Structure 1
Amino acid sequence: MVISPNWALYKEDDLVKAMTVKQKILNEHFWEKIDYILFFTTPIYEVIRMADIDKPCLHLVYEWWEAMIEMVKAAIYMNECKALLEKNSFFDAVYCILLEQWAKSSTQFHCLAHSLNPRYYSSD
């Protein structure tokens, strides 16, 4: 759309804004950042999708949460070429956001459902 000759004629809002959007969309670094964002947010999206089913899954939320945090951490650290034991301010910020959301949505009912899962009490 932005490579169309008609894009330059776009003046409904602001020509400068239209040209800025065009430059951003055609910038390779912009798409690299988008790929990175999608890479580390995919595990978050997948947990949301797994929980949005018509089957009982409340007892699995804690496991999904832990796995999701590890996948997000691995994605961020891999992109920044850091060892998992190193300090990473970006991961710390993302983790704080995720933790705040967890605190808002995690209830005692979630904890009870997780702790009553029979697989923790039996080898079967």
Structure 2
Amino acid sequence: MNARRKFLLICLAATLVGASLYLCGCEDKTEAKGTVELCTKCGQIKGDELCCKPNQEKCIICGLVEGSPGCCNIPEGAETAALCTACGNIAGGDLCCEPDQPRCAKCGLVKDSPGCCKISKN
């Protein structure tokens, strides 16, 4: 075999190996998503010093603590609620991890999401 033919065979073999690796396991792994539990009684982050603290101003619309991450975001009667640590929105909600949402320069979560600048991004 001449040198040119050997070179073409090596290039073809390298291309096939690269393509098989790309298609069979070198896929993009998405960021692991975690959650931060919210208290359904007050709307604050569960276990936080503000959780169920007395004398906090209640929202006239939803009845939870005004300005809490859950304020007007937790449906009435919900047994559980959580914020997604990847985006800051209510976990499992319509806006959770939607692409092309503007990000906050300070915390990296979705700008003006319930968790924006209130929880840390994992």
TM-score (norm 1): 0.20
TM-score (norm 2): 0.20
Report the structure number with the largest CA radius of gyration.
2
- Which is strand-richer, 1 or 2? 2
- Which is helix-richer, 1 or 2? 1
Greater RCO (Cα-Cα under 8 Å, separation 6 or more) = 1
